Amino acid sequence: MKQTFLLAIAIAFLPLFGCEAGNNEINNTDQPETENKLTEVSTDAGQVIHLTKAEFLEKVMNYEKNPDKWVFEGDKPCIIDFYADWCQPCKKAAPVLEELAQEYAGKIIVYKIDTQVERELAGAFGISSIPAFLWVPMEGKPQMSNGIARTPEETKEMFKQIIDDLLL
């Protein structure tokens, strides 16, 4: 009887210590300081740019205004990396994307979206595994890919091939 009672109490308190418990503060994207810093970055600077939902709607696609069709809002092709801080393959892809942002500066833009913070964006694109990459050309529909290659070098070559074939 004692064990059943302790088990019931443990189960009752389990949601307090699960993955969702610590994310309530993180999901608050109404932080003006962060948004101001993000919008100050030039898109030609060759840097990876972190996006909030508001910035995504402005710079990539306003799916609230155009829910039934893709309307690209950007002025350069872009890559959008859907990632999470805890994801090891995401961590391996990050330096490759930083190199590509510098290498293709002025030609493409590399954006990142933290799926733990911007859950609505991740849900809007059906992101179920990460890393996931949305390749957005100036004309036509974007394409989604998941995962990376075995090595950073292979990943970079794979990404360069997609950039050259689809985006440029």
The tens digit of pLDDT for each residue in 11-25 reads: 232 222 222 222 323
The 3 state secondary structure assigned to 25-39 is: HHCCCCCHHHHHHHH
pLDDT top residue among 43 and 53: 53
- Return the CATH fold of 29-167: Glutaredoxin (3.40.30)
**So what's the pLDDT on residue 43?**
52
**So what's the pLDDT on residue 133?**
98
| Mean pLDDT value of segment 120-144 | 95
**How is the chain split among helix, strand and coil, in percent rounded to 5?**
45, 15, 40
Query: Are the C-beta atoms of 87 and 25 separated by less than 8 Å?
Result: no
| Mean pLDDT value of segment 16-45 | 36
Does 72 have pLDDT greater than 50?
Answer: yes
Cα angle value 89/17/112 (rounded, 5°): 30
87 is an active site residue:
yes
90 is an active site residue:
yes
Residue ranges per structural domain of the chain: 29-167
**So what's the pLDDT on residue 1?**
43
Choosing from 87, 105, 124, 162, the catalytic residue is 87
Residue written as token pair 């590509």: 100
Q: pLDDT averaged over the chain? A: 80
Does 112 have pLDDT greater than 50?
Answer: yes
- Confidence label for 165 from pLDDT (cuts 50, 70 and 90): very high
- Confidence label for 45 from pLDDT (cuts 50, 70 and 90): confident
Does 69 have pLDDT greater than 80?
Answer: yes
**So what's the pLDDT on residue 94?**
97
Nearest to 96 by CA among 162, 151, 135: 151
Does 30 have pLDDT greater than 70?
Answer: no
**Structure tokens given for 47:** 């840097």
Choosing from 48, 60, 90, 110, the catalytic residue is 90
Q: Looking at the whole model, is its pTM more than 0.85?
A: no
